[in-house]
Amino acid sequence: MKGLVYNNGELAGYLQKDSGGQYSFEYEELYFADPQKKAISLTLSKSQRMHLSNELFAFFFGLLSEGVNKDIQCRALRIDENDHFRRLLATAGEDTIGAITVKPE
């Protein structure tokens, strides 16, 4: 599964979960090369193009709903409440807090 990560509507990078459950975030080549483009978060700096994690990056986890809204989304979309990546791809494509959106590839 792969998500396209946008910063104010501009493609900034790619978020992926591999078959082993490892997550990667990779800045898009032109976005990474442009020193005027800011990192999408302090924890996903542009000091390196690729970031790896065994869990969904905290920055992206912070874009997810919690509590009753989480329950409603999971029921409506038929997504396991523990499948944070699928939920992110299904719900973070439009109205998120801040400039970052994530859309399925």
pLDDT by residue (tens digit) across 44-56? 999 999 999 999 9
Around Cβ 32, how many Cβ atoms within 10 Å? 17
pLDDT digits (tens, 9 = 90+) for 2-56: 999 999 999 999 999 999 999 999 999 999 999 999 999 999 999 999 999 999 9
Write down the domain spans for the chain: 2-104
Q: How many CA atoms lie within 13 A of 78 on its CB side?
A: 0
